[in-house]
Structure 1
Amino acid sequence: MDELIGIALELFFGFICLFILTKFLGRATITQLTTFDFISALVLGELVGNALYDSEVGVGKILFSVIFWGALIYVTEVITQKNIRLRLFLEGRPSIIIRKGKISYKELSKNRLDIDQLLHMLRSKDIFSIREVEYAILETDGSLSVLPKSDYAKPTRSDLQLPPSEPALPIAFVSDGRLLLKNLIQSGFDEDWLKTQLKKQGFTDYKQVLYAEWQQGSTLFIESY
């Protein structure tokens, strides 16, 4: 009986610790499960699970293990908010699986996807033919974001009897106060152009900009801190 009471107490304290830790770290640990988040969740589960069935491990050790591991995750999250390279290393980067209606076999192979898996993911977005897709982006959490061709957008331009237009993918130029030079150059611009656009909206330095994106046919969209 005493053993059962001990397990119940350990379960209770383990549940409370994990609940508080999840609340503290934010909803991203649940809704946006990246590779790093997945590993973190597994380790947390193992820490509590193993402790429950180890007679030498008490509530104090469970509490210490969960708090220490949670602190490591929190510090890592803070660092990745400031360091883009480390963030990309831990969380990865989105992959453009379909670009301008063409499948990138290189990106498929890189992400260990086959055509059947891609079709399944498209069907989950209510798209049943690849010919309907202009862009498909595999996000870091494993989900697929899809930009359909204008003729297949809802409502369709064909339904409205409008001439077709080519969809344009928004491109980030500044993220977390850092210039994404590769994106800027690939879009046909240079730093002088970007600085001029920033000055028009009252920004004199990249560090003032939380996020800036450009889309064909639209002005530069800027969000400050």
Structure 2
Amino acid sequence: MEIKSIAIELIVGYFALLILTKILGKTQITQISAFDFISALILGELVGNSLYDGKTTVYQILAAISIWGSLIFITEFFTQKSRRFRHMLEGTPSLIINKGHINFKELKKNHLDLNQLQHLLRAKDVFSVRECEYALLESDGTLSVIRKPLYDMVQRQDLQLPIKAATLPLAFIVDGEIVYDNLTLAGQEDTWLLNEIKKQGFHSSKDVLYAEWEDGKTLLVQGY
């Protein structure tokens, strides 16, 4: 098969999958359910297998992607409208730990062993089962945990501390390039940014690996 033909099919397939992913939404990237995972795999296979099939044309690739994309779109539409259909395709959360006790039946049902459960708990900073009151195994395989009150995280309101407004850290420089969108979002200008990095011994943005700004804090600047 000619390289030119492969290149054309790759380019067309790339943009077709990119557009389709934008249309279907972010779940095709995060693969939050088994259905989304399978659909993403098949989309890739449709393009991959057709590349080395000399009889497959660009139009056939586009047709296959369009048909499969339409099936996914229709399925997602019905899962949003019908709760029963949604549960059938995407699954439902399983209560693995209930009131501090491990539900062995749910473990077996989800093909989860105790070592895997311990691993998932540690990922949530729970290093002992005795600290956990409830644990839900979500449809995407992650674990949601509610700690027992004795081991729960202390919050500011519990200590009656003054509440501070939440702030969003923004990257102003990444790999020597100024991120102007974040500058605008923070209401700052590039002249101010350059003056700030000069105060920390950098001559220009090209000398900076990473610079992060957060309201009320000094600019974090790191060089190469």
**If the length of structure 2 is used for normalisation, what is the TM-score?**
0.67
Cα distance in structure 2, aligned partners of 1:62 and 1:46: 11
Larger C-alpha radius of gyration, 1 or 2?
2
Partner of 1:116: 115
Q: Is residue 2:19 matched to residue 1:59?
A: no
Q: Give, in angstroms, the shift of residue 85 of structure 1.
A: 1.0
Runs of 4+ aligned residues of structure 1 deviating over 3 Å after TM superposition are none
- For 1:47, the aligned partner's letter is L
CA deviation digits over 1:24-66, x for unaligned, max 9?
0011222242011111111111111100110111111110000
Q: Structure 1 regions of 5+ residues with no counterpart?
A: 161-225
Cα distance in structure 1, aligned partners of 2:105 and 2:4: 56
Aligned-residue CA RMSD in angstroms?
1.7
Distance of aligned partners of 1:49 and 1:117 in 2 relative to their CA distance in 1, 3 Å threshold: same
Equivalent residue runs for 1:32-181 within 5 Å = 32-155=31-154
Cα pair 1:150 1:156 within 8 Å, conserved: no
**If the length of structure 1 is used for normalisation, what is the TM-score?**
0.67
Partner of 2:202: none
Between the two proteins, the alignment pairs up a number of residues equal to: 158
Cα distance in structure 2, aligned partners of 1:102 and 1:38: 31
Cα distance in structure 2, aligned partners of 1:46 and 1:140: 24
- For 1:9, the aligned partner's letter is I
Partner of 1:184: none
- For 1:11, the aligned partner's letter is L
Q: Give, in angstroms, the shift of residue 156 of structure 1.
A: 7.5
Cα pair 1:97 1:137 within 8 Å, conserved: yes
Cα distance in structure 2, aligned partners of 1:66 and 1:36: 17
Cα distance in structure 2, aligned partners of 1:9 and 1:92: 39
Q: Give, in angstroms, the shift of residue 150 of structure 1.
A: 1.4
Q: Structure 2 regions of 5+ residues with no counterpart?
A: 160-224
Distance of aligned partners of 1:4 and 1:68 in 2 relative to their CA distance in 1, 3 Å threshold: same
Percent of counterpart pairs with the same letter? 57
Secondary structure of 1:30's match? helix
